[in-house]
Structure 1
Amino acid sequence: MRRVILLMHMSLDGFVAGRNGEMNWITIDDEIFKDANELATTADVALYGRNTYQMMASYWPSVLANSNSTALEVEHALWMENVRKIVFSTTLENAEWNNTRLIKQNITEEVIKLKHEPGRNMIIFGSPCLTHSFMERGLIDEYRININPVVLGGGVPLFKKIQDRVNLKLSRSMTFHSGVVGLLYESKNG
């Protein structure tokens, strides 16, 4: 069965965005980019909430047109352009980015159907609101959390409205040269 993998950057104090949604504190360098690109090769579906989808849809196509883009950026942009994308939103009217499907209701049922389809993993890239919704429903199989060496003091928390304990098993930890620590946890609840 396919797995839902969350890839999220987090501050040391547990926030995934600042008080005003800012993400300029996130460390992205070649080493972290390479790790994300390696993860992308294990998946054939990208999952997004509305806000992150709109941000990604406006950014990644421009990378392909920019002659100053790095090889790692282009590699990821090509994957993003071609991968099947699913955006979960009750307010978005349409999703026009290449290979995108919009799901407006029945999240749990839709994700369970997707998990049973043939194919590779599905990745949530960021998308804090979608992540909270998936966590509440027990739909995340693997948590890849990149802890950035910064304390924000407030903002959007990674863990919100968790009603039941989620048992996890540490599968891997990695310290990047930038000081970011990557943790890979597998859900033991599934």
Structure 2
Amino acid sequence: MEWAIVDEELNPYVDGLFRKVDTALYGRVTYLGMQSYWPTVLTDPEASPRDLEHAHWVENVSKIVFSKTLSRAEWKNSRLVKDQIAEEIASLKQQPGLDLMIFGSPRLTHTFIHLGLIDEYRLFLNPIVLGGGIPLFQDIKDWMKLKLLEAKTFQAGVVGLHYQAVRQ
């Protein structure tokens, strides 16, 4: 995602979001990409302090990968969920702890939207038109009402949006 703007103003804001999460949720493609990248940062002598801090966070956070095709999740603190997604998330929401957050994983996000599992959306609108890729909101059959909780404009032109899903 070389098009995404990340700068000195946006970094602390995003880091604050990570501190509120103790379970990272991934689809297969994003999980495999993260698994192949972040552990290498831990041993990279040229990694920035911020990247090292994030690499430690992602290495130690509880990770759930949702996939019907993977046979196992081998990354530290990872586990695989193949089916019964709604039941799994309902169970996780009943447990004490911090937030659950989907990282990337647009197809997993589609599944969560269709199952009504998303409580809040944190979106970062970058000042760029891609013209392709996987849409975030795809095949939505009924309209979804969202309540704006926060809108923050960053100097680089990125707008951070925080919405709460309003249940009908």
TM-score normalised over the length of structure 2:
0.95
Report deviation, 1:33: 2.7
2:124 corresponds to = 146
SS of structure 2 residue aligned to 1:85: strand
Aligned residues between the structures: 168
- Higher RCO structure (Cα 8 Å, ≥6 apart): 1
Report deviation, 1:68: 1.7
Deviations 1:84-119 (A, max 9, x none): 000000001111100001000111111111111111
SS of structure 2 residue aligned to 1:30: coil
1:30 corresponds to = 8
Query: For residues 65 and 11 of structure 2, what CA distance do their matches in structure 1 show?
Result: 23
Kindly indicate whether residue 98 of structure 2 is the aligned counterpart of residue 120 of structure 1. yes
Identical amino acids, percent of aligned pairs: 52
2:61 corresponds to = 83
Query: For residues 152 and 24 of structure 1, what CA distance do their matches in structure 2 show?
Result: 11
Query: Residue 34 of structure 1 contacts residue 72 of structure 1 at CA under 8 Å; is this kept in 2?
Result: no
Gaps of 5+ in 1: 1-22
Gaps of 5+ in 2: none
- Mapping of residues 15-164 of structure 1, within 5 Å: 23-164=1-142
Query: Using a 3 Å threshold, how does the CA distance of structure 1 residues 174 and 125 change in structure 2: closer, same or farther?
Result: same
1:17 corresponds to = none
TM-score normalised over the length of structure 1:
0.84
Return the match for 1:165 from 143, 152, 159.
143
SS of structure 2 residue aligned to 1:65: coil
SS of structure 2 residue aligned to 1:158: coil
